Amino acid sequence: MSEQAQKHGALASPLPPPGAAADWTVPQRWEEFSAEDHRVWDTLFARQQSLLQGRAVEAFGKSLDVLRLSRPGVPNFDELNDRLHARTGWSVVAVPGLVPDDVFFRHLSERRFPAGNFIRAADQLDYLEEPDVFHDVFGHVPLLAQPEVADFMQALGQQGLQALDLNSLHRVARLYWYTVEFGLARERGDLRIYGAGILSSFGESHYALESAKPHRHDFDLKRVLRTQYRTDAFQLSYFVIERFEDVLELVLGNDLAALYAELDKLPDLSPEAAQLAA
Ligand code: HBI
Ligand code: FE
């Protein structure tokens, strides 16, 4: 998501756009997607599915099958939700683009994932101004079929709403960013991708695992909550988890409000910072 889009998301006027409901949802109007749109989906899907063999966490590939996302064309949310809801109680809801933070986290807290009702143009396969249906549904939705991820995402939604009241949303945004969007995991000793921002990006699927440039830290909640991030370039830091359950336990097992207060006394960290000063 670009800096501009992120700002738009954060500063969006509280009023939903014309045609959207109070929670910013719109009908998907799947029948209005053009043959070109469906071709763009198929091109992106085929490219990422083959690239991610051996690069994505195993649960990702399994979930693509379970949700039958390999069917051609842009997924019809009604059909997708029949399968997704049956597995973890999550539903995908269509939105016209970035929604305000409070709207976004409220959806997550009620097991609804806001997904773009549009897809990028064929001549912009690798440039994304706002999250489109490929980033949202290919990147985020498969892992929502995994119970521990489904629980983690709902917990993040609840924490986001709480943080809003504590003027600490930027902390939850970082936790979301370094896990749900750009998280890496270790599986049987190998580095694997689970973050949607990487899974849905051709370039970053290579860079995140193979480049010598970024730092790859073992997951450390306090460090994540202190580390800034860029929205308009490949990440300079990634955080690596061993198991999804670990991050869920950290979020549910910690008094995050107290943690925010403690960290407010410390400086933020640049994503370029290497090891922490002892
Ligand atoms: N809106 N549609 C949409 N999708 C997002 O991923 C999104 C958003 N609004 C806010 C938001 N993300 C951020 O606050 C999170 O990335 C932290
Ligand atoms: Fe996303």
- Candidates 144, 216, 210, 151; CA nearest to 178 is 216
Calculate how far, in angstroms, residue 261's C-alpha sits from the geometric centre of ligand 1: 24
Residue 23 lies in a domain: yes
CATH value at residue 259 = 1.10.800.10
- Domain of 256 in residue numbering reads as 3-12+19-263
Considering only residues 232 and 13, tell me which one the structure prediction assigns the higher pLDDT.
232
- Assess if residue 235 is contained within a domain: yes
Q: Output the pLDDT for position 71.
A: 85
Query: Residue 205's closest CA among 216, 195, 215?
Result: 195
Asked if 179 contacts 241 with a C-beta cutoff of 8 angstroms, the reply is yes
Integer Cα distance of 165 and 46 in angstroms: 42
Average pLDDT over residues 207-223: 97
Q: Is residue 272 part of a domain?
A: no
Kindly report the average pLDDT of the chain as a whole number: 92
Q: Can you give the pLDDT at residue 218?
A: 96
pLDDT at 13 over 70: no
Task: Read off the pLDDT of residues 40-84 as tens digits, 9 standing for 90 and up.
Answer: 999 999 999 999 999 999 999 999 988 888 789 999 999 999 999
Number of structural domains the chain divides into: 1
User: If you measure from the C-alpha of residue 105 to the centroid of ligand 1, how many angstroms do you get, rounded to a whole number?
Assistant: 8
User: Smallest Cα–Cα separation from 88: which of 137, 147, 142, 138?
Assistant: 147
Residue 52 lies in a domain: yes
Residue 274 lies inside a defined structural domain of this protein? no
DSSP 73: S
Within a domain: 275: no
Ligand 2 geometric centre to CA of 277 (Å): 31
Q: Which two tokens stand for residue 19?
A: 């045609």
What atom in ligand 1 is closest to the CA of residue 173? 17
Q: Is residue 42 included in any domain, yes or no?
A: yes
Nearest to 173 by CA among 104, 73, 265: 104
Q: First and final CA of the chain: distance in angstroms? A: 33
Counting ligand 1 atoms within 8 A of each CB, the residue from 7, 11, 99, 140 with the most, and so the one to mutate, is 99
Model pLDDT for residues 228-262, shown as the tens digit of each residue: 999 999 999 999 999 988 889 988 889 999 999 99
Using 50, 70 and 90 to split pLDDT, how confident is the model at 277? low
